[in-house]
Amino acid sequence: NAGVTQTPKFQVLKTGQSMTLQCAQDMNHEYMSWYRQDPGMGLRLIHYSVGAGITDQGEVPNGYNVSRSTTEDFPLRLLSAAPSQTSVYFCASRRSDGLGAQPQHFGDGTRLSIL
C-alpha cells in the first residue's frame, strides 16, 4: 500500500498565483485533513473532511479551499498565494468509525515557497 501520497513535493509560486496541492490515500479512510507546519509552530489544522461531500474548517482556514468528491482524494487549493502561506503542508488520513480518535497517517509533505 502507498498510504498517503502528496504531490508535488516542492513548489515555488509568485504572490497572487493559484495552485492545488494533491492528496490521495488508498486505505479507504473516511477522515482526511490538511495541516501546515511552520518553524517552532508544530502542526496546525487547516481543513478536514469526514467523508465525501463533507468538509469543515480547522484552526487556520483563511486563504485555503477544499472539496471532497471521492473517499480517496482531498485536494487543497490556494486561491491567491501570499508569502505568509510559505510552509510545509501535510495531508493525513484516519478511520472514522465512531469509536473515538484513531491514529492518523501522514504523507511526506509539499514544501511550498511563495515569492
Partner 1 sequence: GENVEQHPSTLSVQEGDSAVIKCTYSDSASNYFPWYKQELGKGPQLIIDIRSNVGEKKDQRIAVTLNKTAKHFSLHITETQPEDSAVYFCAASIKGYGGSQGNLIFGKGTKLSVKP
Q: Tell me the residue ranges of DSSP E strands in 15-115.
A: 19-25, 31-38, 42-51, 54-57, 64-66, 76-78, 87-94, 105-106, 110-114
Nearer to partner 1, 14 or 62 (CB): 62
Binding mask 24-63 for partner 1 (x = CB under 8 A): -------x-x-x----xxxxxx--xxx---x-x-x-----
Q: How many CB atoms lie within 10 A of CB 104?
A: 17
Nearer to partner 1, 41 or 82 (CB): 41
The least distance separating partner 1 from the CB of residue 37, rounded to whole angstroms, comes to 9
Give yes or no for residue 67 binding partner 1 (CB under 8 A).
no
From the number of C-beta atoms within 10 Å of its C-beta (0-12, 13-18, 19+), residue 53 rates as exposed
Contacts to partner 1 by CB under 8 A: 4, 31, 33, 35, 40-45, 48-50, 54, 56, 58, 90, 94, 96, 100-109
